[in-house]
Structure 1
């Protein structure tokens, strides 16, 4: 199994908040890519690398970044084995629509550039999970699904509040926990489900060719339809079996306050740091 970490965003909201802060407490975050932000005692992305390194099932990690942060990611990756970096060639969030790839195309870029023909863990580079998340448990569940059918895929869900459905992709499932559809940012009245789906997917190697199909179908669509990776998952659910695995929640570093809350948790409240996410 391979891991692809999507880290080509520019952290525009966070950098805007940092620039507006007058306390000086966050000056060290200026120009830092979100996946490389210090969270607790290591970079956000290093928490993932530590857990992946402890896994017997993941043998290579591929990180997709942009030209602005490429050197920073290369410097970070030099401290770890088996991490490969690929650049999407963009230089700012204001690139023309023709130049911006979007997250789904970034995933496709990694698959093609590194000739991946294996199952793939897709990980959002600005996301960490609550302590009940277990990479070993996820891999075990995926192996069970693969034993039943090699077409099976796996995504995570966690329960969100009624007033949060309009922020996330919400998955509806059947009695076997197979996804039947995913609605993008629905109103609470538009679905009975409260299963938010974060950017962490285990894609079967049989599903990887469908990236080409999705992007070909969406080639003339707005960048927003190709950017959010959940759009591919919603499309995939109608074509391949996708099952869900419930977790307790996530830390989503979007703005300065969410970063502060995440960092504080890892400094003061993380109970089992030595086995976190493993």
Structure 2
């Protein structure tokens, strides 16, 4: 990392502030806006927590006698740290700001002065608003104006934090907030989180956020549940452009009363009335001790932190993604077609993630070998297995995940991990082994960072997985495998052009949990499935009418297969499976499909089975209406050098 130290504007003006603005030259991180404005952080602790102070003072147990008079922001946690310590750790860990100020009141000023000297916070950057009680408080916006005026900050971008509330995850990384803000030069930024069930909408400001742009469309200050379906709660954690800061004086002039000089009211005015562009960024976890709270709230926070510490035992998280067989319509998933696919429990990829001091990706001893018995051993393994193991899939998924979250305005906690994988999916036989590793890795990352389908919607997860493979690793593929590995079970998929363009993903639905017995036969020395689509894809993009008509025919076969499955007409399904393969053979020709792959199909058909490719080659999926012949079919395939297994469907847990 190259670190460039730039003399800050504050130093040039002679303010006794942080000595320099440190600009970290990392990919995608910029700490100055397009106008060259530096970013200043202002922490607000000037509120009078009257309710909590009184309840501590009136507590008869004596348990909290040592906390009488202590400001809410300086109340201790089980780890010995105070609320403000958590914020200062997050802010001061990396020098993202040209200066940091703290606004407090006259009643508690000495407490914060003592905290500053013990915490290496510049005492000269503490601003006293002169208030001593709620009755003579001036309001949060007037406190902001005081800081802007006395420290001459009107030309700066300002990050604003309520220093007496605490984020639930102590490993929150504020650098991601600054990074996201720097990539949204046309607007301000507001942090929000998804409320828990026990939180009332009437206690928070709620935001309605556009899922595509992340722009906040509406700000509602403590609404009733009937006013909005949103559960996205906004807290005093904003980043304002200097241009927005200029609007503060106008607001203060229009709304002179202290009750109207709150950040919630100001945000409502900016977004709903002035139509200012404000983006939302979501934190995976929520906040505690927001606003006027009591002793029970404080005790609840202590209990939460204690239980969180117990949970952080660094237990590994395990996630699996299963192999799949394409039952109908493949390979039209890459050509705006329709398919039916089935996840199978015979084979899977499993990824393990566990918290660790450094981020580590562990090579698989078989798939990512780094030690060999000899040159001959290296030559033999490299010839058979190639050079592309699973480690690249883990790394590419992590890279894409971080980029996705940054783009979607999702702040990840500052946690490192160790990631490893194992798989028993046969390689290069068209059973979606690569996408299974990516899918399982994505599941691990979602769980590890406490995200959900609300953050990365389920219909979009297959596209994310495909983007990892196509964009990062140049793997030729379609959506089908990723859809069935995310949804699991027997899944119908419609990738029609109009559907994809209108909603950004296909239509996906489960077809129940009833299928006739099927078998899978695959080669031990398979072909490379990555080359199968190439010629047809070029013809399709060039508008070749034969290919376009063929892909439409695959979609028709898929719809007919859906009817056959729903009516349990297995004879009709068998005929459609054969038609699917015949159409594929017509479009791709024998040279592309390969002699050994064709022989597997011919062998099964000679025994009366319906046979097709489950993927791109190297294996066949068969259905035999006369199960008395299954033993003979198995023997014939085995004698031809194939492995034969009964297909074991992997149904989703909630089906």
Confirm or deny a common fold (TM above 0.5).
yes
Cα 1:246/1:159, change in 2 over 3 Å = same
1:86 is matched with 127
Which residues of 2 match residues 77-156 of structure 1 at below 5 A? 77-79=116-118, 80-82=120-122, 84-95=125-136, 100-116=137-153, 117-131=155-169, 133-146=172-185, 149=186, 152-156=187-191
1:68 is paired with a residue whose SS is coil
Deviation per CA, 1:256-276: give whole Å up to 9, x if none.
12212223444552449x9x9
1:229 is matched with 263
Q: Contact 1:165/1:194 (CA < 8 Å) preserved in 2? A: yes
Contiguous gaps of at least 5 residues in structure 1: none
Which residues of 2 match residues 18-57 of structure 1 at below 5 A? 18-39=56-77, 40-57=79-96
1:186 is paired with a residue whose SS is coil
Give the superposition deviation at 1:89: 0.8
Give the superposition deviation at 1:193: 1.4
2:192 is paired with a residue whose SS is strand
1:188 is matched with 225
Q: Contact 1:199/1:229 (CA < 8 Å) preserved in 2? A: yes
Pick one of 86, 108, 113 that aligns with 1:69.
108
- Return the alpha-carbon distance in structure 1 between the equivalents of residues 253 and 88 of structure 2: 32
2:281 is matched with 245
* CA RMSD of superposed structures (Å): 2.2
- Return the alpha-carbon distance in structure 1 between the equivalents of residues 287 and 242 of structure 2: 26
- Return the alpha-carbon distance in structure 2 between the equivalents of residues 277 and 118 of structure 1: 27
Q: Contact 1:129/1:277 (CA < 8 Å) preserved in 2? A: no
- Return the alpha-carbon distance in structure 2 between the equivalents of residues 240 and 31 of structure 1: 40
1:170 is matched with 206
Q: Contact 1:129/1:250 (CA < 8 Å) preserved in 2? A: yes
2:320 is matched with none
- Return the alpha-carbon distance in structure 2 between the equivalents of residues 267 and 163 of structure 1: 20
Matched, 1:214 2:214: no
Higher gyration radius (CA): 2
Q: Contact 1:59/1:82 (CA < 8 Å) preserved in 2? A: no
- Return the alpha-carbon distance in structure 2 between the equivalents of residues 257 and 55 of structure 1: 34
Give the superposition deviation at 1:163: 6.0
Give the superposition deviation at 1:119: 1.4
Instruction: Give the total of aligned pairs.
Output: 266
Contiguous gaps of at least 5 residues in structure 2: 1-38, 313-354, 358-411, 415-655
- Return the alpha-carbon distance in structure 1 between the equivalents of residues 215 and 235 of structure 2: 16
Q: Contact 1:34/1:125 (CA < 8 Å) preserved in 2? A: no
Relative contact order, CA 8 A, sep 6+: which one is greater? 1
2:235 is paired with a residue whose SS is coil
- Return the alpha-carbon distance in structure 2 between the equivalents of residues 268 and 159 of structure 1: 20
1:110 is paired with a residue whose SS is helix
1:197 is paired with a residue whose SS is strand
Q: Contact 2:190/2:280 (CA < 8 Å) preserved in 1? A: yes
Cα 1:258/1:68, change in 2 over 3 Å = same
Q: Contact 1:158/1:249 (CA < 8 Å) preserved in 2? A: yes
Runs of at least 4 residues of structure 1 off by over 4 A?
none
Q: Contact 2:90/2:172 (CA < 8 Å) preserved in 1? A: no
Give the superposition deviation at 1:46: 1.4
TM-score (norm 2): 0.39
Q: Which moved more, 1:79-88 or 1:57-66?
A: 79-88
Matched, 1:262 2:298: no
Q: Which moved more, 1:159-168 or 1:170-179?
A: 159-168
1:158 is matched with 193
Q: Contact 2:90/2:173 (CA < 8 Å) preserved in 1? A: no
TM-score (norm 1): 0.88
Give the superposition deviation at 1:166: 1.1
Give the superposition deviation at 1:167: 1.0
